[in-house]
Structure 1
Amino acid sequence: MSHSLSPFRLSRPTFVAAAILALFAGGAVLWAQVEGDRGIAPIASSGDIDITGIEVDVRGDNAEDAREKGWREAQRKAWEKLGGPSISDGQLQGLVVAVVIEQENIGPRRYIARLGITFDRARAGALLGASGRGPGSAPMLLVPVTRSAGVYTVYETRNPWQRAWAEYQAGASRINYVRPSGAGGDSLLLSFGQTGRRSRLWWRNILDQFSAADVLVPVAHLEHQWPGGPIEGTFTARYGPDNTYLDQFTLRAENPEQLQPMLAQAVQRFNTIFERALADGKLKPDPTLDLGTVEAEPALQRLIEMGRAALARDRAAAAARDAAAEAAEDSSTPAPAPQPAETAQAASYAVQFATPDAGAFDASLSAVRAAPGVRGAAVTSTAIGGSSVMSVTFAGSQEQLAAALRARGFTVRQSGNSLAISR
């Protein structure tokens, strides 16, 4: 007895259950690409003046007295760093709106700290002789890239470089930073691979998502000498859809605890580089990113120009051939083409003609209109690089029209009620 093996089939309920399971599995895979604790929201920017990294080491009668003296000394050092005029401690205290503790160690009678001092711009501006920041930049999308252990990271995971930019107080900067949080789909849109793309259409779509005009790419290359040891940082400033180089510098952190302060210092250096580039006219938004100007990418623009040049050469060659053909016709005595009878009634005929380029199109149309007996020719279909069709009004029969076109140098083929001509 033989047994036949029937093909495996799913019942309808089983098939529906499998389809739902596949749908949820696919959704889980997609969600896994964007889930996780990766976003760091940037702090709100103000227009105040921030001076960071002020080192103080003072002694006092007790811990509180030492701390108070340390804060006053930090305020004076920050004011001197701004180049402000000599004023009393009371006046200086009235200009300060915040003291930021970056790091501090408090002893019984000693205070060692690194502080940041924030001055009110409206009140300090008059004394500093500058109440404004000068013209600012267009909105610039920030893409902070970290390279560590051979891996390039932007927003795929939370990292110290992203945190340094998120915590930067950019209100006093002339650069209008657009800082994504890195949450949700930001890590899919803004990756290290995106910085190497040159497609203006792709960049335009991303910039529109963040209401930005151009892009800034600060790259931090961090090298850990050994676990728990010094960290060498090489920082490179780039900008624009072509990833154009601006400047580079290096910093060093003696241990992992000093990494975040080093990165905060690097952010300040980057801001100086970007502001200098803005003053030099380098940070103007790339015109090829502006959809209003409809400017093509450079490579595509070169191809268009090459095509136009080739078309111009073809037209010139076609014009030279036509001139030579007309000269040959004038010097010879061709047999007269049959003339239609004066009383013949005009009729319209469809004539298909080869148009490999625009020059051949114009030459064929002009030659047909100049044929004896032709009262008019109108193009009904245009196909440059193929065959176009014209409607010819002729005082005579189709055979007489064919003879007239042959006299103009065309090869004529008759098919039913239409003619096909070529040279």
Structure 2
Amino acid sequence: MLVRWPAVIITAALLAAIGLAGGVIAQMEAGERGILPIDSSGTLEITGISVDVGGKDAESARFAGWRVAQREGFKALWAKTNSRPVSEAPNLSDSTLDGLVSSIVVDREQIGPTRYIATLGVLFDRARAGELLGVPGQVRRSAPMLLVPVMVAGGGATSVELRNPWQRAWAQFRTSQSPVDYVRVSGMGVDPLLINAAMTRRPGRSWWRNVLDFYGAANVLVAEVRVQRLYPGGPSKATFLGYFGPDRQPLGSFEMVAKDSSDLPRMMSEGVQRMDRLFTDALEAGIVRGDPDLIIQQPPPPPEEPEEMPPPRAPILIAISSPNDAWRDYGLAVIRSIRGVSISGSGSTVSVTYSGTPAELRDQLIARGLTASVEGGAIRLISAPKSAAPDPGPAPAPSQPLQSP
């Protein structure tokens, strides 16, 4: 039997399907993967600088606010680096600061017609500002540590599978001043398959050994935050916990509060800095370190096989039958001219080292005009024909007596 549905029901079903599809699309867009970590190896950063300045117009007020941030930022960074009060920091001119500052980071800003209110961060070039700040060019770092940020919120735990505020805060963290050598992942490619919240509780050390070898790390650090919201968009309370190694050795914890959703990035950023101090303290205590058991050792190269040398041949005896010394010397000279021949002795019987057989050496001698034969493994060399004998040269002319005039 054919059932005819009312048009209102059909329309409602279509609208519900459209709404469901839109919700799925929105969820997919909100769940995009991948946040590239900021490379901060050559910069020094100071954050949380509040400015409130005025100007003749909005652009002038903003420029004046950035100049104030440079001055206060350098003093705050100098005081932090040298553990001294801000009042003792040197006063540098604006032109000098312009050469030291790499960039201005805007956390929050409100721009009016003649007023500028903002919270800024200042990045100083390490090479140019390091000497004035008393900062060494290179910081002693730990062994590479794979960092896994885990955020637990709403009953679910995520790491880099989906974008979240905790992953973003670690990606924006500038690690140049930290003694911990963090290996941060972006969440792209195979990262969500290898690095996710569920894998941080996997006890298999063989699996961790392969993962650490893939990322070039010597051990793992897990930075976990558990966020509880009073109501959507309202205050949030977060508990931060640090773990070390595949066995999740606890390193410590602390709590922070965000007054609303807009304050959540600030809480995450400060949480990263406190977590870094927690890891640094564990590093100085000797807890955070590389584990040789987690590093895949490359097999030693195979031993080089010695090159097989052909067995040395027995020396060949050559007996030279010559009527005089001149013929014998001539025969020895011919033998020496053969490539690969070494002669021991200089009499009528000599010992010859040759790479070939006696028959081959005999052929070489015959090719050079000598008469030779092989007898019992030795060579008998007969004098060369007269035409091959060395030319003694013209006879000297007889001297004539001098005649007197």
TM-score (norm 1): 0.58
The AA in structure 2 aligned to 1:126 is E
* 1:167 Cα deviation from its structure 2 partner: 2.2
Q: In the alignment, what sits opposite 2:71?
A: 76
Conserved in 1, the CA contact under 8 Å of 2:37 and 2:186?
Answer: yes
Conserved in 1, the CA contact under 8 Å of 2:212 and 2:218?
Answer: yes
Pairing of 1:252-267 with structure 2 (within 5 A): 252-267=257-272
* 1:206 Cα deviation from its structure 2 partner: 1.0
Q: Distance in 1 between matches of 2:250 and 2:76?
A: 30
Q: 2:117 aligns with which of 112, 118, 130?
A: 112
* 1:172 Cα deviation from its structure 2 partner: 3.5
* 1:133 Cα deviation from its structure 2 partner: 4.3
Deviations 1:170-195 (A, max 9, x none): 23332221111212332222222322
* 1:291 Cα deviation from its structure 2 partner: 4.0
Q: In the alignment, what sits opposite 2:17?
A: none
Distance 1:134 1:171, change over 3 A: closer
Q: Distance in 1 between matches of 2:160 and 2:206?
A: 22
* 1:287 Cα deviation from its structure 2 partner: 3.4
Conserved in 2, the CA contact under 8 Å of 1:239 and 1:245?
Answer: yes
Q: In the alignment, what sits opposite 1:225?
A: 230
Q: In the alignment, what sits opposite 2:178?
A: 173
Pairing of 1:3-402 with structure 2 (within 5 A): 37-82=32-77, 83=79, 84-292=89-297
Q: Distance in 2 between matches of 1:247 and 1:112?
A: 37
Q: In the alignment, what sits opposite 1:360?
A: none
SS in 2 for 1:245: strand
Identity %: 49
Deviations 1:192-246 (A, max 9, x none): 2322223221110111111111111111111111112112121112111111111
SS in 1 for 2:187: coil
SS in 1 for 2:212: helix
Q: Distance in 2 between matches of 1:91 and 1:38?
A: 41
Conserved in 1, the CA contact under 8 Å of 2:139 and 2:177?
Answer: no
Conserved in 2, the CA contact under 8 Å of 1:85 and 1:128?
Answer: no
SS in 2 for 1:265: helix
Conserved in 1, the CA contact under 8 Å of 2:213 and 2:295?
Answer: no
Q: Distance in 1 between matches of 2:200 and 2:101?
A: 40
The AA in structure 2 aligned to 1:170 is T
* 1:86 Cα deviation from its structure 2 partner: 2.9
TM-score (norm 2): 0.60
Q: Distance in 1 between matches of 2:203 and 2:213?
A: 16
- Gapped regions of structure 1 (runs ≥ 5): 1-35, 295-423
Q: Distance in 1 between matches of 2:75 and 2:250?
A: 34
- Gapped regions of structure 2 (runs ≥ 5): 1-30, 80-88, 300-405
SS in 2 for 1:101: strand
The AA in structure 2 aligned to 1:49 is L
Q: Distance in 2 between matches of 1:44 and 1:93?
A: 21
The AA in structure 1 aligned to 2:215 is F
Moved over 3 A (4+): 290-294
Deviations 1:235-287 (A, max 9, x none): 11211111111122222222112212221222222222222322232221123
Deviations 1:62-91 (A, max 9, x none): 222221221122112211221243323332
Q: Quick check: which has more Rg, 1 or 2?
A: 2
Distance 1:207 1:71, change over 3 A: same
Deviations 1:93-134 (A, max 9, x none): 321111111111001121111111001111211112222343
Q: In the alignment, what sits opposite 2:374?
A: none
Conserved in 1, the CA contact under 8 Å of 2:212 and 2:295?
Answer: no
SS in 2 for 1:143: strand
The AA in structure 2 aligned to 1:233 is A
SS in 2 for 1:171: helix
Deviations 1:13-53 (A, max 9, x none): xxxxxxxxxxxxxxxxxxxxxxx732222233332101122
Distance 1:78 1:138, change over 3 A: same
